[in-house]
């Protein structure tokens, strides 16, 4: 066989060998791409792109204080309601306490009246009189500690809110509508009248 024919025969064989090499390279490249996908390299690239997209977004605006206005109003209303409730409760407690004191004092007023009558009686027994005076003073002290006071009456202008007029007398020296005599002492606890003073009024 001549050299020329040998060269012609060698060329097809060389082409076939090149094709086989290219076919062998393609699976290797495909394997490399598959391996990169499994390792997450394309995902990292996607995340980087997503991060770039987020960085390009406009910053979120901070919420204004207008949204908290209803809450502030509600808090102020609750605080005002609680303050009113506290004041109302304190006033009710004070009223209950004053009523209890008034009821207790009212139960002792007949004892006061009897001691007062005993002191007006003439007696030669000074020890007896001294004992009654000490008892009366002790009772007055107890009533004073409870906030119970005697209603001023004798020589005072007549006050229907404090005095109970049972008699009238003509006395120009006293003036008109003035208490001329007291038949029974009256008492009050603060502004609450426990017993009206029974009086005689000058016309």
Amino acid 173: pLDDT: 84
Is the domain 74-202 a CATH 2.30.22.10 member?
Answer: yes
* CA nearest to 106, candidates 189, 46, 23, 10: 189
**59 phi, psi to nearest 5 deg:** -65, 145
Whether the Cβ atoms of residue 147 and residue 167 lie closer than 8 Å to each other: no
> pLDDT band for position 190 (50/70/90)?
confident
Q: What is the mean pLDDT of residues 22-37?
A: 54
Amino acid 13: pLDDT: 55
Whether the Cβ atoms of residue 97 and residue 189 lie closer than 8 Å to each other: no
Q: Higher-confidence residue: 10 or 193?
A: 193
Intra-chain end-to-end CA distance of the chain, in Å: 173
> pLDDT band for position 57 (50/70/90)?
low
pLDDT digits (tens, 9 = 90+) for 96-154: 988 898 999 999 999 999 999 999 998 889 999 999 999 999 999 999 998 999 999 99
Amino acid 88: pLDDT: 93
pTM of the model: 0.56
> Taking every pair of C-alpha atoms in the chain, what is the biggest distance, in angstroms?
181
Whether the Cβ atoms of residue 200 and residue 177 lie closer than 8 Å to each other: no
> pLDDT band for position 49 (50/70/90)?
very low
Q: Any bridge partners for residue 195, and if so which?
A: 187
Whether the Cβ atoms of residue 142 and residue 161 lie closer than 8 Å to each other: no
Sketch the domain layout of the chain as residue ranges: 74-202
Q: Would you call 66 exposed, middle or buried from its count of C-beta atoms within 10 A (0-12, 13-18, 19+)? A: exposed
Whether the Cβ atoms of residue 171 and residue 165 lie closer than 8 Å to each other: no
pLDDT over threshold 80, residue 156: yes
> pLDDT band for position 71 (50/70/90)?
confident
Whether the Cβ atoms of residue 191 and residue 202 lie closer than 8 Å to each other: no
Give the Cβ contact number of residue 119 at 10 Å: 13
Q: Higher-confidence residue: 46 or 140?
A: 140
Which residue's structure tokens are 């393609």? 26
Averaged pLDDT of the chain: 79
Amino acid 183: pLDDT: 95
């Amino acid at each position: 066989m001549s050299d020329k024919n040998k060269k012609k025969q060698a060329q097809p064989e060389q082409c076939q060998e090149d094709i086989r090499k290219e076919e062998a390279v393609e699976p290797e490249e495909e394997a490399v791409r598959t391996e990169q996908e499994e390792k997450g390299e394309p995902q990292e690239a996607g995340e980087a792109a997503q991060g770039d997209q987020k960085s390009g977004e406009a910053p979120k605006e901070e919420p204004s204080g207008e949204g908290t206005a209803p809450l502030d109003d509600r808090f102020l209303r609750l605080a005002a309601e609680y303050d009113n409730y506290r004041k109302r409760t304190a006033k009710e407690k004070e009223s209950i306490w004053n009523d209890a004191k008034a009821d207790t004092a009212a139960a002792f007023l007949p004892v006061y009246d009897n001691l007062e009558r005993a002191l007006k009686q003439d007696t030669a027994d000074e020890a007896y009189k001294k004992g009654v005076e000490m008892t009366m003073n002790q009772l007055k002290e107890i009533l004073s500690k409870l906030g119970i006071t005697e209603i001023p009456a004798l020589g005072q202008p007549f006050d229907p809110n404090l005095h109970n007029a049972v008699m009238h007398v003509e006395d120009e020296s006293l003036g008109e509508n003035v208490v001329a005599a007291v038949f029974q002492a009256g008492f009050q606890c603060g502004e609450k009248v426990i017993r009206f003073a029974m009086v005689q009024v000058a016309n």
